[in-house]
Structure 1
Amino acid sequence: MNWFLSLSPVMQAFIATMFTYLMTAAGAAMVFPFKSINKKALNAMLGFAAGVMIAASFWSLLAPAIQMVEDRGGIAWIPAVVGFISGGFFLWVIDKILPHLHLNMKREDAEGISTSWQRSVLLVLAITLHNFPEGLAVGIGIQNFPEGAAVSVPLRREKLTRWKSFLYGQFSGVVEPIAGVIGALAVIYMRPMLPYALSFAAGAMIYVVVEELIPESQFGDEVDLSTIGAMMGFAVMMTLDVALG
């Protein structure tokens, strides 16, 4: 572990977010052994991802941001609220502009600017859209596995080849290393803005959870598993954050 700590912050961020990308790719690789995934299992995994992101938004982002401002003798709630609302607003604006399609929606229900792009491209863009703020959070990772599968498996059902489905699925995670490096550079060169940046990432992640992950995980007749998955994801991420500091 000492070798990792000896690296520059930018390189640490890159390696951590590469892990999150690889988790997305691993999830996308589920398309090779399976043509479809049981809906209950997928809902539980998406619920788990939502729980992880909610817990990470507080323990990994908002709580440290508040603590930083308190240590400086500032008014702690101002950067937290301003950054949090700004992050959600940023995702809302992008959501209205970037063409994308949520799972379980028809092609004609695509959001963003009207386009003739294929359904497969719009599905990938939907996941890519909310992977960016996860990259800013740097290296959460474990919630990306179900997201990769949530892209590649539906594409396989739409008659794409296994390799094309996998490539599209893993591509949705490519933005995370990019966002991780941007976030690390921002920390280095704009340190006074760090509490705002952390809160911004938290707001963006909560927007994604409420807008996409929770509704998608609750799709179907039985939603108990997705709710339990969310509770477990929250508990796991809370344990990791508190135990590992």
Structure 2
Amino acid sequence: MYERQISLIGKESQLNLNKKTITILGLGALGSNSANLLARAGINLKLIDFDTIDETNLLSQSLYNYNDLKKNKAETAFKKLKEINPLISINFINTIIDDSNLDLLKSDLVLDCTDNISTRLLINEYCYKNKIPLVHSAVIGYKGVIYNSLDNQPCLSCIYKSFSNEEKCETFGVLNTIVSLISSIAVNEVIKILLKENYEKALLRIDIKNNEIEKIKTKKDKNCICCGLGESISFKTYKLCKNETSFIITPLKKIQINESNLKNFKIKEKTNN
């Protein structure tokens, strides 16, 4: 099955890939496309998602079709991928990741295909503390980003504070072409990292509408709550942005918030809880 790939990377590298297991968190547009490519490359997979398939997913989520509507994404992806490559080990877990079950992420690498900031940062902190390579991918509108966080690279918490407002977690449209492009590049980075080859150190930002590719140099934030000296905040609950334009974060302990820093956010309700 892997002959054409072996002719490019060599038999030893292919055998190394066959021994690796990666966790894909989120089996939506990026996750399903990436899982398809990784399964065909011969990499063992752990699939995690809690969501079900609806009709709007069929535009950009290549593993699913009309017969899969209302089915669980992780289980459906598992069945499709087993048909594609029965030679690899695939496991699926129907769950929401929170700080009570983060050990589910244990593997040789985590591919982040989630769609909300709170979960991304939770994954980031776990991977950083446990020295698990993390490949982050995201798409919105015509744009997408890929970032590799491992070794002594700045973590996601270091870089997310500089993202523009348009790249926050909201219900925007997306083209399936940018999904295919970003997932292909992310999978390529996964393979390079697993084979201990030179991987991209910059944050890649791609604008498919204007055919622009940016390589943005990143640097560590000494006050980062994850890899710097800042105070870490654990999160208990999350609301994913599927049909609404917001997400909810519930800290596990009381924290002080300077409301002067919230001028760009609309506060709908205050409580004393």
TM-score where L is the length of structure 2: 0.23
The higher radius of gyration belongs to 2
In terms of fraction of residues, the more strand-rich structure is 2
- 1 or 2 for the larger relative contact order (CA 8 Å, sep ≥6)? 1
In terms of fraction of residues, the more helix-rich structure is 1
